[in-house]
Amino acid sequence: MDYAATILSRLPGASKRDHGVRRLIDTLKSYLPDEHLGQVMRAYEFGADAHKGQTRKSGEPYITHPVAVAQELADMRLDVQAITAAILHDVVEDTEASLDDIEEQFGHEVAQLVDGVSKLDQIQFRSRAEAQAESFRKMMMAMIEDIRVILVKLADRLHNMQTLGAMPTSKKKRIARETLDIYAPIANRLGINSLKIQLEDMGFKHLHPFRYRVLDKALKKSKGSQRQIVKRISDEFGKAMTEEGIEGDISGREKHLYSIYKKMAEKKRLLSDVVDVYGFRIIVEDVNACYQTLGLVHQLYKPMPGRFKDYIAIPRVNGYQSLHTTLFGPKGLPLEVQIRTREMDRVANSGVASHWVYKADEKSDATPQRRAREWLTNLAELQQSGTSEEFLESVKVDLFPDKIYVFTPKGDIMPLPKGATTVDFAYAVHTDIGDRCVAAKINRGLVPLRTPLQNGQTVEIVTARGAKPNPNWLTFVRSAKARTAIRNHMKNLRSVESVDLGKRLLDKSLKDLGSSLRKVGKVRMSSVLEELGLNNDTELFEQLGLGERLAPLTARILMGVDQDDEGESQAASLVISGTEGMVLSYAKCCYPIPGDDVMGYLTAGRGIVIHRNSCGNLSNFRKQPEKWIAVAWEKEIEREFSCQIQTETRNRTGVLAEVAATIADCGSNIEQVEVLGRHEDCSVLSFLLTVKDRKHLAKIMRNVRKMPNVMRVSRDCA
């Protein structure tokens, strides 16, 4: 009996749980030495003991989940540390076992992998979105240290998606959306095509179950009629290759539901147009044979113009290599053909996991390992950007590889996001180049910095000593690296320039009130700083210089102006940065209510007046931007607000009373009614109502609109 058999004999029975670990050991013994199998079994026993008594929503013992995750990684032939971490990836989060316990029994490397995958449930966050973003940031930072973290996480997500059936519908949809937005693109970015396809199809199945069933049924129906055509064309390709002495394998390419759905949605095409495209994959021995085979298939069937892609000469950003061409087949049917070597096919399916151990001497531009290293280096720079949510958004930009390829003056290929500008190119070369760029040349001709780049262009950046990034660049750059670098530069400038500016603005505002910073005195300044929750006057000056507080308002606080009871009660209904103690009023030109996008405008006699962003009168205020202030509604406001609606009603007896009764039934009081116009068959009426928020107003308008004598209802805005 060999070592693996000895290990298997220690398992207590032939339950479903043990069947999973038996299959895992069988897979592992095909490529791992016996002593490593012993560590995996110890991890299994440790995990089974820690998860004892825990079950999944489906009723299965919990340990079946980590074993299934480990099986997915074993199929990718990952090392013993990754397999061990997969089996233990939930013990810290869901059991009493600690990271120290894991480190003591299985070593520091395994403990680090488990820590990278674990969620941050023990930290209190302000919102679910922030918790998810921070958990994502932690996982990605661990991934920078060790790529195996994300491989464990992807396998974990795949098994969760495969067993999502027991979850409530709302949770299914949330997890499916997260899978399509984050995890499938990460698998794609790392070139792990097999995982990406499964994650996309499972995400599609749970996010749009009806659409999935319709497409799945149509695809199965079309497969029968396709088999004969695929066999005939495959035989033609095979015969031509044999005559030329080219060895290779030809197969009909399976279509995946999510890719079909995306193509239908993006290109507005019918299902029959997408399904009736025949896919073929030809695997040959070397690169020369790839190009020879391409010539052969072009001789057999005419190629479609503009549909040839050479990803061997210019690999995709995730290291994927292949030749793609589309042909006019029998009766004009489109034939999509992929031609690649066996190594390229292995990389296409497994990507970075096809050979996960990085080799320092790997020079080939095409290796997924090299591309992954570059991406992870870029992530390390991105994580310096402010909040976790910003980091998540930045990474999302990089995850969808809709790329263009341009050349440096030396002929090196530079992949960039679609729509990238010369500034994105400058930052892709080096952050210092981006910071100091002043001009750009495309194909030797000078162009504006905001010029979008096209495939195949040669780009040259002109730099100047002492040049600095322009904040306006943020309006047109597309890459996460450029956006992060510009923001970081602006943040570094804040502490120097904004403090000086804020100090001058406050002193000027105090002089307008007959005082100055010198006259205010340290005691009054300390009192106000404590009231505002600031540590020192430098923080106050910085906020003033950045526009986070308005100098005239801060000057009034320092002078004790406008601090009356009315201002206190009014201010309670809004959260307004820097307006403590100011009088608030709500504009009667647009009647803002909670839920509206609003802004504040500082006036001489009325304090701050709140307007809707869509208010027509704002155009008059745009000439004085220094008097604007950012405002935001509180989540729960216990008061009512005035709001105006306008109705067009048929001229019928009692219609005004009917509308008034409907409004009253919705819990609103009518403050004023005005007839704006009367025609032969209709009247235009204006109602001034009291409402709680936009939801309350929407309910009123919906009920009024349903009335048989009401033709139209709208909200007034000057």
SS (H, E, C) 119-140: CCCCCCCCCHHHHHHHHHHHHH
Q: How far apart are CA 121 and CA 403, in angstroms?
A: 36
Phi, psi of 405 (to 5 degrees): -125, 120
Q: Let me know: does 486 contact 386? Beta carbons within 8 Å.
A: no
Torsion of CA 517, 519, 524, 526, to 10 degrees: 40
In the residue annotation, 145 being an active-site residue is answered as: no
Q: Let me know: does 134 contact 140? Beta carbons within 8 Å.
A: no
Rounded (to 5) percent helix, strand, coil in the chain: 55, 15, 30
User: Helices marked H in 400-516 — which ranges?
Assistant: 422-429, 431-436, 480-493, 499-512
In the residue annotation, 247 being an active-site residue is answered as: no
Secondary structure tally for the chain: helices H, strands E: 32, 19
Q: Let me know: does 687 contact 714? Beta carbons within 8 Å.
A: no
Q: How far apart are CA 258 and CA 253, in angstroms?
A: 15
Give the amino acid at 118.
Answer: S
Cα angle, residue 124 at apex, residues 123 and 127 outer, rounded to 5°: 125
Q: Let me know: does 351 contact 192? Beta carbons within 8 Å.
A: yes
Q: Of 75, 79, 94, 393, which one is the catalytic site residue?
A: 94
Q: Let me know: does 651 contact 691? Beta carbons within 8 Å.
A: no
Give the amino acid at 289.
Answer: A
Q: How far apart are CA 638 and CA 617, in angstroms?
A: 28
Residue 407 three-state SS: strand
Torsion of CA 38, 42, 45, 49, to 10 degrees: 180
SS (H, E, C) 133-195: HHHHHHHHHHHHHCCHHHHHHHHHHHHHHHCHHHCCHHHHHHHHHHHHHHHHHHHHHCCCHHH
Residue linked to tokens 């698998």: 187
Residue closest to 678 by CA, chosen among 710, 715, 648, 713 = 648
- Helices 537-545, 551-559: axis angle to 10 degrees equals 150
Give the amino acid at 445.
Answer: G
Residue closest to 351 by CA, chosen among 200, 188, 498 = 188
Long-range contacts of 131-138 (CB under 8 A, 24+ apart): 132/178, 132/392, 133/387, 133/388, 133/389, 133/391, 133/392, 134/388, 136/182, 136/388, 136/391, 136/392, 136/395, 137/383, 137/388, 137/391, 137/392
Q: How far apart are CA 323 and CA 305, in angstroms?
A: 15
Q: Of 60, 93, 181, 393, which one is the catalytic site residue?
A: 93
Count how many residues are written for the chain: 718
Cα angle, residue 73 at apex, residues 402 and 183 outer, rounded to 5°: 30
Q: Let me know: does 574 contact 525? Beta carbons within 8 Å.
A: no
Residue 652 three-state SS: coil
- Residues annotated as catalytic are 93-94
